[in-house]
Amino acid sequence: MRRSSFVGLLSVALVAALPLGCADDGPAALDETTEGPTSPQGPQATPPNVAPTAVAGPDQAAECASHAGSSVTLTSVGSGDSDGQITLYEWFENGTRIATGPTPTVTLAYGAHTILLRTTDDDGGTNDDVVMVTIRDTRAPTVAMVVSPTSLWPPNHTMHVVARGASASDVCDPAPALHFAITSDEPENGLGDGDTAPDWAVQAAGASVADVLVRAERSGLGDGRVYTISATATDRAGNGSSAATGTVTVPHNQ
């Protein structure tokens, strides 16, 4: 008995003496990365203490207000302790403590969140409750596209940027998808010497940003070529933008 106690003490002393990289982390009492509860535990109390009641409030939904999500106020109204008082309110998501206090305001990202409230009473008893909070995105993204130049000359079969930095933006989604539909009123190929394909291209220029190029080309037998460019965006919630459009002509003659 005495021997094993001594061995235990020795082990502790050795571990404490090891040059650990994180040895200067300081007190861990408020460490937000400490693994916390991921599912509600039910009432925990040692008699005669009665466990507190935890009420995490009704499920909530809020419109996403920024790329960071939305601010939501959590409420524990209805929580209490029949033989004492609650001294600690802790809110966890996936085992990480995200807030303390009876009515904290937190910023939650787009999507569904399961938040666990743990109440602790003045005798160390605990009880948990869960609230669902959904940050939704119902607003469509927008597209900005300026087509310039709108006419290309000479028709020497070279590619030209005609929409530089076309972009999609969204209140909630930091990187909405940008789509282009480009058409020509002439066939892409088969118009004689020097005809080259493809006649248009989209080059990514960053997240949700792109340049559009078209070829300075037209049929010598036609009335000039017209390219029509349409840009739309879709956010991750599936909301679609209205289209931004423009045309570029390659005239038959100057």
Residue ranges in contact with Ca ion by CB under 5 A: 49-50, 81, 83-84, 121, 125, 137, 139, 170, 172, 185, 188, 195, 197, 199, 223, 235, 239
H-type helices in the chain, by residue range? 2-17
Shortest separation between residue 183's beta carbon and Ca ion, angstroms: 12
Q: Smaller CB distance to Ca ion: residue 115 or 227?
A: 227
Q: Smaller CB distance to Ca ion: residue 128 or 199?
A: 199
45 in Cβ contact with 122 (< 8 Å): no
Shortest separation between residue 149's beta carbon and Ca ion, angstroms: 18
Q: Smaller CB distance to Ca ion: residue 57 or 125?
A: 125
- Rounded to the nearest angstrom, the gap between the alpha carbon of residue 102 and the centroid of all alpha carbons in its chain is 27
Q: Smaller CB distance to Ca ion: residue 95 or 194?
A: 194
At 17, give phi and psi (nearest 5°).
-85, -15
112 in Cβ contact with 132 (< 8 Å): yes
Shortest separation between residue 140's beta carbon and Ca ion, angstroms: 6
Q: Smaller CB distance to Ca ion: residue 129 or 199?
A: 199
Place of tokens 């530089």: 164
- Rounded to the nearest angstrom, the gap between the alpha carbon of residue 226 and the centroid of all alpha carbons in its chain is 39
Q: How far apart are CA 90 and CA 47, in angstroms?
A: 23
Shortest separation between residue 102's beta carbon and Ca ion, angstroms: 16
Cα–Cα distances (Å) from 244 to 13, 146, 157, in that order, read 70, 9, 26
Shortest separation between residue 56's beta carbon and Ca ion, angstroms: 18
